[in-house]
Structure 1
Amino acid sequence: MEIGVFSVSDITTDPTTGHTPSENERIKAEIAIARKVEEIGMDVFAIGEHHNRPFFSSSPTTTLAYIAAQTQHITLSTATTLITTNDPVKIAEDFAMLQHVSDGRADLVLGRGNTAPVYPWFGKNPQDSVELTIENYNLLRRLWDEDTVTWQGKHRTPLQNFTSTPRPLDDVAPFVWHGSIRTPQVAEIAAYYGDGFFANNIFWPKEHYQQLINLYRQRFEHYGHGRADQAYVGLGGQFYMARNSQDAVNEFRPYFDNAPVYGHGPTMEDFTDQTPLTVGSPQQVIEKTLSFQEFFGDYHRQLFLVDHAGLPLKTVLNQLDMFGELVLPELRAEYAKRKPSDHPEPPTHANLVAAHRAGIKSATARNEVPVPVDTPEESHA
């Protein structure tokens, strides 16, 4: 199990002090958080992609490349890379480059995004969202898996004998997670290619995500990548801790109540009951996180959102120190105890290279036919 942190890169006023950090403050804070993630022994740091205020992360690969130079061990990923509005050629180049500069410590989460105005900013139509997702990813896979690509599609200019450079490190493409909170076609794409499926289940009740994850698992097995329970699933989560649970509730409540994404909505108590958010003691964080397996089955990656809603950097770093001391060792021990003997290892670059050198065909090398646009009828339930 990989355990880490992701950020949506929001710039939010601290409701307890009235301070609004500058873009520079938040960017530098993100780098400090990534360094802390490595320091406490976590596995992954991921950051989202946004092109609108109040967010700052418009160029996540630039940020991750800088963090790569500041760290040695953590995997560097995205919380979302927009497959709909980014050119697949540029994605192929940027993430292969990130592989090289990080010595393989790079993967990515692809998603459609949730901000409709971004489409026309990049010359796209939001009504083409699912078509763009499928066409762009089919092309991206070919750019990584084939040295020379001749291609023609509907939504970008054709390619003739094109080679994406640099080539993927060790001839193994970055592992791809497909992120979705509502789109069954995305689960279908992930399953078809044998990629991972990341359910950023931080907003809606768990039952909603169970449907998408179960669909992905069923189709992963259908396409011959392994049993449904062996599929590569990642989950989101959130926590705010204090050694005394009531202190955590009192400290986090003003941030929750004023957060741009869920403030002025459900109560914090209702939200913690229905979603993965935990506000309480370290033991409560451990117990809530371990309960995710009951709903979603064995999975490979657990990422936590810790730096949102205006929380100051000092508080976030203190939260991570507490997590590293009191939570992380317990989670690691329990996950190791629960891991089935035939559960695949996390899809790190080293593991993918070992499989490649052993002559095992990559699960993502499926270029015979494009992924189907329509998913089975039952998937839309």
Structure 2
Amino acid sequence: MELGISTFVETTPDVETGEVISHAQRIREVIEEIVLADQVGLDIFGVGEHHREDYAASSPAVILAAAASQTKRIRLTSAVTVLSSDDPVRVFQDFATLDGISNGRAEIMAGRGSFIESFPLFGYDLQDYDELFEEKLELLLKIRDSEKVSWSGRHRPAIHNLGVYPRPVQDPLPVWIGSGGNSESVVRAGVLGLPLVLAIIGGRPLQFEPLVRLYKRAAERAGHDVSKLTVASHSHGFIDEDSQTAADKFFPSYQQAMNKLGRERGWGPMTRASYDAARTLEGALYVGDPQTVAEKIIHLRKNVGITRFMLHVPVGTMPHTDVMKAIELLGKEVAPIVRDEIVRWEATEK
């Protein structure tokens, strides 16, 4: 069971003061967070790609590379790379470079993108949303699997027996499929035998269990070894020394961020009552003291089959010291509880 952190490097206004942290400062803070996550023994840190004013990470590979030289063992991944609006050749080159800097710790999480700002920015038509992803994923995997590539498609100039460099330390470079719960993307990951990342940010996490089964059935039918498949979750949350403090600290920025997205996407407002309901064992928020959060992660592992858990923190803008404390608690207190219980549980299951 792997545990780690994901972030979108948010720069939303401070709930209390209205002040907005600069993109440069927030990027520097995230590098400090990655270094701390490595020091406290977490397994993975993910940075998500966005192209809007309230997120500072339009180039996750650059941020991760800055942290790579200051870390020793933590794996470094995009969360996600919006592959539909990017060039697979450049994506591979960037993450192969990151893999070299980190000596084999880079990963790519490829997704279609629930945020669509990159499509007009790079000149893509949203009507091609699905086809773009399918075509570019095909090219990315060809580049990953072969030094020289021949390929043609509708949305990018053809490549005729050309080499793509540098080559990564890892062979193959890990490529995950990110999904918000779309059955088509889950099946695609299974057919390709690629690891799957589920964004579990609302509703009941146990509702994702049928999708994990669907993913594994698709993989098995395609001839892949299901025992080697890995499934990750990316879920909002926050940890402090006691649950009430954690809940009270996290709610203001979380409510502000979710209500802003809700206005853009037609969701209802986030209330304290709905927030507190999501903090219960069956809810999608991992907010509380270390024991509470550990129990929820264990519950997710046992009932959904998640083998990697990524705590997305912060949501909105929170004090850097609070985020650092949450990372430290995840690594030093939550992770040992989760790992020990999963080892014990798996032994009894066998």
Settle same-fold status: TM greater than 0.5. yes
Cα distance in 2, alignment partners of residues 243 and 67 from structure 1: 27
* Residue in 2 that maps onto 1:308: 315
Displacement, 1:7?
0.3
1:206 and 1:295 in contact (8 A); partners too: no
* Residue in 2 that maps onto 1:220: 219
Task: Name structure 1 gaps, 5 residues minimum.
Answer: 344-381
Cα distance in 2, alignment partners of residues 248 and 30 from structure 1: 20
Relative to structure 1, the CA distance from residue 256 to residue 50 in structure 2 (aligned partners, 3 Å threshold; closer, same or farther) is closer
Cα distance in 1, alignment partners of residues 124 and 339 from structure 2: 43
Mapping 1:107-118, distance limit 5 Å? 107-118=107-118
Cα distance in 2, alignment partners of residues 341 and 161 from structure 1: 52
Letter in 2 for 1:288: K
* Residue in 2 that maps onto 1:358: none
If the length of structure 2 is used for normalisation, what is the TM-score? 0.90
- 1:249 aligned to which of 247, 258, 274: 247
Could you list the per-position Cα deviations for residues 67-102 of structure 1 after superposition, in whole angstroms to 9, with x for gaps in the alignment? 101111110001100110111111121111111111
* Residue in 1 that maps onto 2:265: none
* Residue in 1 that maps onto 2:340: 333
* Residue in 2 that maps onto 1:272: 279
CA RMSD, 1 decimal:
2.2
Relative to structure 1, the CA distance from residue 25 to residue 145 in structure 2 (aligned partners, 3 Å threshold; closer, same or farther) is same
Mapping 1:281-292, distance limit 5 Å? 281-292=289-300
Cα distance in 2, alignment partners of residues 117 and 79 from structure 1: 16
Cα distance in 1, alignment partners of residues 97 and 228 from structure 2: 30
1:201 and 1:275 in contact (8 A); partners too: no
Cα distance in 1, alignment partners of residues 111 and 308 from structure 2: 17
* Residue in 2 that maps onto 1:42: 42
Cα distance in 2, alignment partners of residues 25 and 107 from structure 1: 25
Letter in 2 for 1:37: A
Letter in 2 for 1:276: A
Displacement, 1:230?
4.8
Could you list the per-position Cα deviations for residues 283-312 of structure 1 after superposition, in whole angstroms to 9, with x for gaps in the alignment? 111111111024312x32111112222111
* Residue in 1 that maps onto 2:209: 210
Letter in 2 for 1:258: Q
Report SS of the residue matched to 1:173.
coil
2:79 pairs with 1:74 = no
Could you list the per-position Cα deviations for residues 123-172 of structure 1 after superposition, in whole angstroms to 9, with x for gaps in the alignment? 211121111111111111111212222211111111111111112325x1
Number of residue pairs the alignment of both structures matches: 340
Could you list the per-position Cα deviations for residues 331-351 of structure 1 after superposition, in whole angstroms to 9, with x for gaps in the alignment? 1211222336999xxxxxxxx
Letter in 1 for 2:162: F
Task: Name structure 2 gaps, 5 residues minimum.
Answer: 263-267
* Residue in 2 that maps onto 1:154: 154
Greater mean alpha carbon deviation, residues 196-205 or residues 263-272: 263-272
Mapping 1:1-381, distance limit 5 Å? 1-169=1-169, 172-206=171-205, 208-227=207-226, 230-259=228-257, 260-261=260-261, 264-266=269-271, 267-273=274-280, 275-297=283-305, 299-339=306-346
If the length of structure 1 is used for normalisation, what is the TM-score? 0.83
Relative to structure 1, the CA distance from residue 218 to residue 248 in structure 2 (aligned partners, 3 Å threshold; closer, same or farther) is same
Higher helix share: 2
Displacement, 1:17?
3.7
